[in-house]
Structure 1
């Protein structure tokens, strides 16, 4: 298994050690082409605005591959949106979670002070959008997040850090999928991915702050039929819409 380690920062320098380990190069401080011995595809980095950067991965590995993000002193939250064409594993706090477009859960949020490891499926296309956000922009979010039921971890310094595992909203799924059809060599690509990043982030916060929490829980039979409907639609993406009556 090929093992790579790196750290994140809001600025491009985090890529320099990564490309040495991959035995490749970074182009214009933005684009890293995956070398042939690992697979095909790329990583793309851009500074969206002050306090927000994006890392987008579109690649297919042909060998077992594990990339570990080491915790650092950079005060960041990482929003990981995963629309890969197969289930991948992401390890947070020594627990492996399944994540990807064909899994029920495709969003992970974690504190940069927690180490995480990403283990993609071999010979399957990986599509992942990661937003790196300065904690200074997220004071209100952090405060409200802590009031909800989420997973916390205490660091060696007794600081409380958290991570969350959930769903991407449907509009953001379409936005991220639009990146799949955009050439990374297109002159407008950088502006395009910045726009997508801000829209996806806006969708998340809109859902987080304004969605109404209902006390009514779904019954077991409702959950069963929702799952059957979702599986049918997922397995028949290229067929005609079956009608609401059928569903």
Structure 2
């Protein structure tokens, strides 16, 4: 496995060192690497004052362990990731799936360090947006529901900006539309800048102070919450474990655990577990090997009617309707 220790930043001084560590070079706005590493497009752009981006649409031909250690602590990284194949965020040897079917949106303070592994055959499609904290502050100050809380949100002694969650359908469609554009076109930069502005606007419009938990998070806290998420995902066929049990596993008090879990995922532990149980049910139904009743029993729903009602509430269609769409 090849290991690459690199950094990102709003200023593009990270690009040349990154290209060299990948065994490649910078050509215009492209990072060109040897075909035995990956094939496809790696494109960077200075988008506006305080905003830059790294656009990836590549197929990896070698397993690579990326370790991100940023030199600058003055920006927020917003990572939209629709990678297909085995790509994982690692925390103390616990693998957390990243990409289309796992976490596909991460909002992370540049002070965090983390490891990301992609395997050979992994098709990576991601848009990484780097935004100066001062720029995000201005957006927040122009948002009435957030204006009075800006000082606390951006005070590192009171709060850490970090979230691993899933993007909205609107964000997904914006990215798919961008992917359909010809990158060699003279208008691609305009599409890229427009997509970034729309993604930022969509994220901020959806954000309310109820979604923000003011609290600090250190590397150890983040690892424990990610490990807890992985535990929940590995036990979807079981009833929800108690908060006390999960908090003990994470070496936290119950109140701290609940606060940090919601801060990092945007959901309570119960909601995270239940939502992923429903996502798993859809995956099982999609395989067409189990009946609706069997899926309900497999995932330990209290009864078939309750499962059907919750499935419709979450996906906007009944399990029967979903199955008919597969025919």
Alignment-derived partner of residue 90 in structure 1: 89
Q: Is the contact made by 2:107 and 2:163 (CA closer than 8 Å) also made in structure 1?
A: yes
Alignment-derived partner of residue 311 in structure 2: none
Query: Closer, same or farther in 2 for the Cα pair 1:178/1:231, shift >3 Å?
Result: farther
- Deviation digits for residues 108-153 of structure 1 (CA, Å, limit 9, x no counterpart): 1111111122212320210111110101123346956978xxxxxx
Alignment-derived partner of residue 120 in structure 2: 122
Alignment-derived partner of residue 6 in structure 1: 6
SS of match in other structure, 2:160: strand
Q: CA deviation at 1:174?
A: 1.0
Q: Is the contact made by 2:85 and 2:121 (CA closer than 8 Å) also made in structure 1?
A: no
**Corresponding position: 1:62 with 2:61:** yes
Q: Is the contact made by 2:51 and 2:132 (CA closer than 8 Å) also made in structure 1?
A: yes
SS of match in other structure, 1:5: strand
Alignment-derived partner of residue 151 in structure 1: none
**Corresponding position: 1:188 with 2:241:** no
Alignment-derived partner of residue 21 in structure 1: 21
Q: 77-86 vs 221-230, which deviates more?
A: 221-230
Which structure 2 residues correspond to residues 64-79 of structure 1 after superposition, within 5 A?
A: 64-79=63-78
Distance 1:22 1:222 in 2: 38
Q: CA deviation at 1:43?
A: 1.6
Query: Closer, same or farther in 2 for the Cα pair 1:84/1:50, shift >3 Å?
Result: same
TM-score, normalising length: structure 2:
0.59
Which structure 2 residues correspond to residues 1-247 of structure 1 after superposition, within 5 A?
A: 1-28=1-28, 30-91=29-90, 96-103=95-102, 105-139=103-137, 140=140, 143=149, 161-209=160-208, 224-225=277-278, 227-229=280-282, 246-247=321-322
Distance 2:85 2:111 in 1: 28
Structure with more helix by fraction: 2
Task: Mark the structure with the bigger radius of gyration.
Answer: 2
SS of match in other structure, 1:18: helix
Q: CA deviation at 1:50?
A: 0.8
Q: Is the contact made by 1:92 and 1:115 (CA closer than 8 Å) also made in structure 2?
A: no
TM-score, normalising length: structure 1:
0.77
Count of residue pairs the alignment pairs up:
228
Residue segments in structure 2 that go unaligned for 5+ positions in a row: 141-145, 212-265, 289-316, 323-327
Distance 1:231 1:27 in 2: 45
Query: Closer, same or farther in 2 for the Cα pair 1:231/1:209, shift >3 Å?
Result: farther
**Runs ≥4 in structure 1, deviation > 6 angstroms?**
92-95, 144-147, 210-213, 220-223
Structure with more strand by fraction: 1
Distance 1:228 1:82 in 2: 23
Q: Is the contact made by 1:93 and 1:115 (CA closer than 8 Å) also made in structure 2?
A: no
Distance 1:84 1:234 in 2: 21
Q: Is the contact made by 1:88 and 1:119 (CA closer than 8 Å) also made in structure 2?
A: yes
Structure 1 vs Structure 2 CA RMSD: 3.6
Query: Closer, same or farther in 2 for the Cα pair 1:128/1:27, shift >3 Å?
Result: same
Q: Is the contact made by 2:87 and 2:122 (CA closer than 8 Å) also made in structure 1?
A: no
Distance 1:223 1:92 in 2: 20
